[in-house]
Structure 1
Amino acid sequence: MGNTTHYSFQYQRGMSYWGWLLLVAVLGFVLTCASRMAPAYLDARYVTEGLKILAENPDLETMSAGQIKKELGRFFLINNVRGEPTEALQVVRGAKGTLVSINYELRQPLIYNVDVVMKFNKQLNTASPELCCDALVDLEQFRKRD
């Protein structure tokens, strides 16, 4: 009785040096990208969360622009959101409601002279708070309707 299935160990070696080197390089690049970009996306998530909490405020229509900025500023301070998102906050009163807009872009250095540009545009329109956080209104057109 001979064994008809014949396995040869010469074809079962595993990854070569170059295979491992490529795997480590790709994994390193992915981790570098994630470590540089993740904080910006985390801040954007907190911006969205802050606008949703603001949308639930029953006094939002009667609040002044300063009060709205103070309320969001307090939320951002608690959640450690700094920089561009806090500086880009705009409150615009219109005929049909109030628009709270946080529109900004971040340029993050990735590797040497390569930068990643991330754009974020979050809006809360009091005329339709259920559509919170998606940029549905052109801010310039909203201002012209006044």
Structure 2
Amino acid sequence: MGGQFGSSLHRQRGMSYWSLILIIAGAGFILTCVSKMGPGYIDAYYVDQGLKKLAEQDNLRDMTRGQIKQELNKYFLINNVRGQPTESVQIIRGADSILISVDYEVRQPLIHNVDVVMRFNKQLNTAKAELCCEPLVDLEQFRQRD
């Protein structure tokens, strides 16, 4: 009976050196991805929240394009949103609604010559403010006119 017990312990040696290296490399890769991509998703969250806060304003229909952009820029400044989201604000007035779109992409270098492209499209349509901030309108038709 002692022989079986001894051979059972011999097979339960634990993790090998290469298994440990593989786990550490995998964890390092995941941490690298999170640290590189995280800020882009945090900015997208604040863009989303900024549009929702703008939708709550009662006088939104009376505001000019400049005032709307100024309100969004104030919110972005407070929450440290910079770069592409602030430059990509597009405002389109309709007969009975206003469409505010923040459509942008962020290219982030990941490892050496590998980049990650993150695309964000947030829209606020005052006619359907409860559906903020999912894209409801394809803006390609409007971009060609600008």
For 2:31 and 2:89, how far apart are their aligned partners in 1? 31
**Are 1:23 and 2:20 counterparts?**
no
For 1:136 and 1:67, how far apart are their aligned partners in 2? 23
The structure with the largest helix share of the pair is 2
Number of the residue aligned with 1:59:
59
| Identity, % of aligned positions | 61
Number of the residue aligned with 1:129:
129
For 1:134 and 1:44, how far apart are their aligned partners in 2? 12
| Shift in Å, 1:138 | 1.4
- What secondary structure is seen at the aligned counterpart in 2 of 1:58? coil
For 1:25 and 1:45, how far apart are their aligned partners in 2? 29
For 1:22 and 1:143, how far apart are their aligned partners in 2? 47
Number of the residue aligned with 2:91:
91
Deviations 1:35-94 (A, max 9, x none): 000000000000000000000000011110000000000000000000000000111111
Q: Is residue 99–residue 124 contact of structure 1 (8 Å, CA) maintained in 2? A: yes
What is the aligned-residue RMSD (CA, Å)?
2.0
How many residue pairs were aligned?
143
- What secondary structure is seen at the aligned counterpart in 2 of 1:53? helix
Number of the residue aligned with 2:36:
36
- What secondary structure is seen at the aligned counterpart in 2 of 1:57? coil
For 1:10 and 1:18, how far apart are their aligned partners in 2? 19
Structure 2 counterparts to residues 104-123 of structure 1, below 5 A: 104-123=104-123
Q: Which runs of 5+ in 2 are unaligned?
A: none
Q: Is residue 94–residue 143 contact of structure 1 (8 Å, CA) maintained in 2? A: no
Number of the residue aligned with 2:10:
10
| Shift in Å, 1:140 | 4.2
